[in-house]
Structure 1
Amino acid sequence: MIQIVLEDDLKLELNRHDFAYIASVINAVFPSEAKEEYYSPAINGQKASGELYDTFANYRNLLSSTGLINRRSKKSSRDLDSTIVNVCDDNCEAFKFIQEYNEPFDEVLENWKRSFAVRWNILEDNKVETADYLAKFPICILNNSNIFKLFLEDSKMLHPDIALNIDWQICNKVLENGSHLKDPTVKKWITASLNCSEENRKAIGLLVLPYLFPSTKIKARQGKQSFKASKLEIQEKFILYFETLGKADDFERQLLNSNVGLQPRIIFVGELNCLKAYVTLTDKKYAFENPLDAVQQCFYMYQALHIKYPAESTSVWTFIQIYIFNVKTKFDQVSSSIKSIWRSLKK
């Protein structure tokens, strides 16, 4: 990478912002590796370090020793954006393609994969709203289920070991362990699950799962007070359940008319023995015949779009992320209750 950056101008000087930018591009392609491994700036008397910095210094020493550059003459650093565009030319061309076209889908998918580094930089900066990010790409504006194939590819890039074939057998243990719960709604759900298909039984298990977790204290946000989320609130921030589609639509309209930020939502609708499911994102709603598929695709959506889990259901999502999807990140806060619930379900 250093050789490519310097190939047009061997006298080019890189500053700390340049090193940080190149490190972020590398990190976007290899997200499991820390940016600090490639560049750590000088701070508190410690010298700058990292593979990028060391390689640059060694390469310039080599150029100087062979007489190709004069170390005494320094040249101001040029715009690294243009250099990175040249280095990642294929990546940027792919990015341009998905900004202009929504078909044929095979080509969109291929260019989507090739443009991952560029897109992840946009998301990782946390300076763009999800709706604005999606609006950049025609394929995402369409109410088309192909969007989930894109999210899946991004999730695989971020987490190479992510589980793809989920059997959700853990849901049966959830129903078994939840039988001691006193909540009347939970008791009703567990009783109904006895007369359901395997698919709907597991879906009911996911509705019950939040009730195994303790009530969650939500830290105060700007202008608001801290509060303790009830188990119902935890469940509804994980999966909403309505007996009719009309009630679900009314709820969504209220949200769209409010100023509440819209995270991805899972909605189960219908009789418990014949559940349908939807995943909503901004103003789009995607239907799923199998409610378990809706949960799986919503998880990939959270990963691919770099969206935080809802505060109320973070513990539930973290549990699923680690123990169901085999995804661990440096941001995970694994409480003792999460570990305890996993141990009880594995007995």
Structure 2
Amino acid sequence: MDKLTEFIEENSLDPVCLLNLIDCGYTYENLQFIENDDLNFIFPNREDTALRSEFRAKLFEWKAKNKKNLQTLNQPKSVPTQNVEANMQSGPNVCKLEHDFNKLHPNRQFGLTTKWEDTVPKLMSYYNIYLKDNFYKKLFKSLDDSVCPSSKDCILFMCLHAVIKPSHRFTVTHGNVKSFRKATIEDSVCSTVLQVSEVNDLQNHLEQLNNKNVESNTPIQPFVIVVGTELTNLTEFYVSFGEHLYKFSSFVLALDICFKVYQVFGLKYPNESHKVWSFLQEFMYNISTPFDIKHSNVVNVIEDLQKM
């Protein structure tokens, strides 16, 4: 039994506390860094209020009792944008990331996680009318009661790329010959979501992705990794940032953190999927900045969904 599990059992806390802590990237060693602001992220749902209060009381009692034995370490600070690459080895603490995001965009941290469920039926109605791409139309039609919620959420997000199509163009050089390419729907999807059959396959896929990005002269940005032999039966969800993987219990949670990495570290959205990330930013999080690029089809999709 690991120390985090022991902490939960010794304090007679609900096992849900353990699951939430693991989802947030916490270990026994960094329980000491949890502050009041972090509790709303660890227990984000309204029905968790009693659980949050009980956990807070037991945690702070434990911290007071073990104060002399706890390491005198400081909570990691957010990494300045210009030093992102130099600090990728340590990776961001997920709860610290949430804290920094909330300071950057107050009261916007639960935009996706609270709005997604209500948006799903609207997206399905919208796709029934406007989804034209044959592959994604077939994928959308495959959704039935046998598909688990996270697989359904992933497919609905991927279909979004087929109605908010990329318009990015770039130059490809083969020897002395230059040619122009327009980003495809698949390019847009692949810059946000990578599907692998198992985690052990990841390295080969990352190398292929790196070669593709070298060809288009664009850096590899944070993205979501989904694990499963079929999109309709996904089992694991990660966010890739630098050389680190962060595991989450659902696709929506992974997508939420991936978006927040872009925001907190001031990273540019990939050119291929810029429109889709812009849609999430405006529609799900209600965030606008002076640097936003307005896309007419993003505006149109948002207006249509708001009318539903």
**TM-score band w.r.t. shorter chain:** 0.5 to 0.7
Partner of 1:313: 273
Does 2:220 match 1:262? yes
Higher CA-based Rg: 1
How many Å separate the matches in 2 of 1:259 and 1:185? 24
Secondary structure class of the residue paired with 2:168? strand
Q: Which whole-Å deviations, capped at 9, do the CAs of 1:168-191 have from their partners, x for residues lacking one?
A: 132332233223534332123212
1:207 is displaced (CA, Å) by 1.3
Q: Does the CA-based 8 Å contact 1:148-1:301 persist in structure 2?
A: no
1:290 is displaced (CA, Å) by 0.7
Secondary structure class of the residue paired with 1:311? coil
How many Å separate the matches in 2 of 1:244 and 1:178? 30
Partner of 1:205: 156
Answer with 288-297 or 271-280: which moved more: 271-280
1:267 is displaced (CA, Å) by 1.8
How many Å separate the matches in 2 of 1:134 and 1:268? 21
Secondary structure class of the residue paired with 2:303? helix
Task: Quickly say closer, same or farther: Cα 1:185–1:150, change in 2 above 3 A.
Answer: same
Query: What amino acid sits opposite 2:139 in the alignment?
Result: W
Identity %: 24
Query: What amino acid sits opposite 1:187 in the alignment?
Result: K
1:257 is displaced (CA, Å) by 7.7
Alignment of 1:124-163 (within 5 A): 126=82, 128=83, 130-135=84-89, 140=90, 147-163=93-109
How many Å separate the matches in 2 of 1:225 and 1:255? 20
1:326 is displaced (CA, Å) by 1.9
Partner of 1:240: 194
How many Å separate the matches in 1 of 2:199 and 2:270? 23
Task: Quickly say closer, same or farther: Cα 1:300–1:221, change in 2 above 3 A.
Answer: farther
Q: Does the CA-based 8 Å contact 2:275-2:298 persist in structure 1?
A: yes
Secondary structure class of the residue paired with 1:296? helix
Q: Which whole-Å deviations, capped at 9, do the CAs of 1:132-165 have from their partners, x for residues lacking one?
A: 0334xxxx35xxxx82112111111111131414
Q: Does the CA-based 8 Å contact 1:171-1:206 persist in structure 2?
A: no
How many Å separate the matches in 2 of 1:208 and 1:313? 12
Give the TM-score taking structure 2 as reference length. Answer: 0.64
How many Å separate the matches in 2 of 1:154 and 1:103? 21
Does 2:33 match 1:107? yes
Answer with 306-315 or 266-275: which moved more: 266-275
RMSD of the alignment, in Å?
3.2
Partner of 2:119: 170
Q: Does the CA-based 8 Å contact 2:222-2:258 persist in structure 1?
A: yes
User: Which structure carries more relative contact order (alpha carbon 8 Å, separation 6+)?
Assistant: 2
Does 2:172 match 1:186? no
Q: Does the CA-based 8 Å contact 1:210-1:316 persist in structure 2?
A: yes
Q: Which whole-Å deviations, capped at 9, do the CAs of 1:25-64 have from their partners, x for residues lacking one?
A: xxxxxxxxxxxxxxxxxxxxxxxxxxxxxxxxxxxxxxxx
Secondary structure class of the residue paired with 1:268? strand
Partner of 1:45: none
1:218 is displaced (CA, Å) by 3.1
Instruction: Mark the runs of 5 or more structure 1 residues left unpaired by the alignment.
Output: 1-101
Secondary structure class of the residue paired with 2:162? helix
Task: Quickly say closer, same or farther: Cα 1:289–1:179, change in 2 above 3 A.
Answer: same
Task: Quickly say closer, same or farther: Cα 1:334–1:258, change in 2 above 3 A.
Answer: closer
Task: Quickly say closer, same or farther: Cα 1:107–1:242, change in 2 above 3 A.
Answer: closer
How many Å separate the matches in 2 of 1:200 and 1:167? 18
Secondary structure class of the residue paired with 1:262? coil
Query: What amino acid sits opposite 2:191 in the alignment?
Result: K
Q: Which whole-Å deviations, capped at 9, do the CAs of 1:226-245 have from their partners, x for residues lacking one?
A: 53111111111122234554
Partner of 1:68: none
How many Å separate the matches in 2 of 1:328 and 1:274? 35
How many Å separate the matches in 1 of 2:272 and 2:212? 19
Q: Does the CA-based 8 Å contact 1:256-1:283 persist in structure 2?
A: no
Q: Does the CA-based 8 Å contact 2:101-2:109 persist in structure 1?
A: no
Give the TM-score taking structure 1 as reference length. Answer: 0.57
How many Å separate the matches in 2 of 1:176 and 1:241? 26
Partner of 2:185: 231
Q: Does the CA-based 8 Å contact 2:192-2:224 persist in structure 1?
A: yes
Task: Quickly say closer, same or farther: Cα 1:255–1:219, change in 2 above 3 A.
Answer: closer
Partner of 1:272: 231
Q: Does the CA-based 8 Å contact 1:240-1:268 persist in structure 2?
A: yes
Task: Quickly say closer, same or farther: Cα 1:314–1:151, change in 2 above 3 A.
Answer: same
